[in-house]
Amino acid sequence: MPVSIVVGLQWGDEAKGKMVDHLAEKAVAVARFSGGANAGHTVEAEGKRFALHLLPCGLIRRDVIGMIGSACVMDPVAILEEIRSLEGNGISIKGRLKISGKINLTHPGYRWLEKQNETDLAKERIGTTGRGIGPTYERKYRRNAIRLEDVFNMGTFKTLVDHHTEETISSLNLGSADVEKLHSDVEKFIEATEKVSGFADDVSLFINKVLKEGGLVIAEGAQGSLLDPDHGSYPFVTCGQCVSGAACTSLGFGPTQVNDVVGILKAYTTRVGSGPFPTELDNDTGERIRQAGHEFGTTTGRPRRCGWLDGVLANYTARINGCTSVTLTLLDVLSGFSELKICTGYKDDKFTTGRSMDELIPLYETFSGWTEDIRGETEWENLPEAAKQYVLAVERIVGVPVTSVSTGPGRDDVIWR
Ligand code: GDP
Ligand code: IMO
Ligand code: MG
């Protein structure tokens, strides 16, 4: 069996984690291919609620191997905490985690630099998660970043770490109390990196071995396609590539190995952080969706901005990713609305994801709502007619088969059509 890539088709939080966990039942390995601990992937299973940030969701199933690819970025202190939290919940990862030695590390100073950068941007700030993601990718492309594998040569590693410590101190002109705090964080960073280095491995070699033996590998995307630095709402994007193509680069397998690309699409739209959002509902309807969907960030706790489903953007992101199927998630949240809208065009046929995206004016098709509670439903036949019509409309507008529908946060709350 080859690779299945799972990607988000909006601005993140589409329930990728829940669907990766659901699909992982048949997988040998699950591999995260983008981003860092800016992600927050929620899985509800075994009566518990897990919030994973950089660890792949497949680890929750005890027979699955978890991997983290080279195009991800990692804060060693944060991942140790995440591992501790998972193990505290009774899930041992012993012998089941492989992290690419080529992964770039988030030095403690990067968070400080990011904070200053956001302050300097004032009204134009991105609204980042504050996890030092941007500065880590910046240094990667500046070609002086710290990789996990560097720790195997302590001299080189310490020289690199010192360089980034000094850069932080001089860029921010830090006072002595802050310098002391930074040095103490750097000590913890070095210690944590040495501990995490036990998981360093050749991810590409392992994945290709699994594929050769006929095993299924799920490539777990993070963020969403509209946060991608090339194809997303630039400049209000993240810095790691989040579209399906990035899975090959990050995990070291070829495009010929990919069998399917599953696009995860929320039945409405949410966004955290700043930036354009054509179908945003900054009104009572948006608030009603936020409350019904518990739309508060998994990583930062920020209220998510909510709005109608944008079919134009979903059609675009399904194309960019080459989706072979779509899973429509959180459909249950829309129960009880008398009518629902989907954006099917923009005024004057305009379309851009660039700096003038906030000028787009959405045009809507309206659909009947349904009153029945569909939470936890697993049979297509049992859905109210209006809910079926809504799913079929999404399929027509996006142009890709909607093969499954998620009706609740639980592992098995899925309808397969
Ligand atoms: P991710 O970042 O794409 O993995 O998504 P998040 O975990 O950040 O956000 C999705 C939220 O919706 C989580 O709180 C999930 O537990 C929850 N969830 C997932 N699927 C469903 C669903 O079908 N219905 C409802 N009501 N909640 C869901
Ligand atoms: P998951 O994987 C939603 C957003 C931030 C901000 C922008 C840049 O859970 O879907 P960054 O810290 O990455 O430099 O912030 O990207 N963002 C996310 N929004 N879900 C995510 O991940 C996100 N990861 C980053 O809110 O607007
Ligand atoms: Mg999330």
CA 340 to chain centre: 26
Q: Nearest ligand, CA of residue 376?
A: 1
From the CA of 58, how far away is ligand 2's center (Å)?
Answer: 21
**pLDDT per residue as tens digits for the range 67-98:** 999 999 999 999 999 999 999 999 999 999 99
Give tens-digit pLDDT for 309-329: 999 999 999 999 999 999 999
Residue 41 annotated to the active site = yes
Distance 139 CA to ligand 2 centre (A): 19
Distance of CA 288 from the midpoint of ligand 1 (Å): 17
Q: How far apart (Å, rounded) are the C-alpha atoms in residues 369 and 386?
A: 6
Burial (0-12, 13-18, 19+ Cβ within 10 Å), 198: exposed
Does the domain formed by 104-197 have CATH 1.10.300.10?
Answer: yes
Question: Which residue has a Cα nearest atom 8 of ligand 1?
Answer: 13
Ligand 1 centroid distance, CA of 409 (Å): 6
Q: Which CATH architecture has domain 3-100+199-261?
A: 3-Layer(aba) Sandwich (3.40)
Instruction: Kindly report, as residue ranges, where domains of CATH 3.90.170.10 are found in the chain.
Output: 264-416
| Partners of residue 310 on adjacent β-strands | 343
CA nearest neighbour of 251 among 229, 222, 220: 220
Would the CB of 333 count as within 6 Å of ligand 1?
Answer: yes
Q: What pLDDT shows up at residue 163? A: 98
* Atom 11, ligand 2: residue with shortest CA distance: 128
130-150 pLDDT, tens digit each: 999 999 999 999 999 999 999
Best of 42, 226, 298 for a ligand 1 pocket test (most atoms within 8 Å of beta carbon): 42
Domain 264-416 architecture: Alpha-Beta Complex (3.90)
Q: Which atom of ligand 1 is nearest to the CA of 298?
A: 8
Would you say the CB of residue 18 lies under 6 angstroms from ligand 1? yes
Mean pLDDT of 19-34: 98
Percent of the residues in the chain that have a pLDDT greater than 90, as a whole number: 98
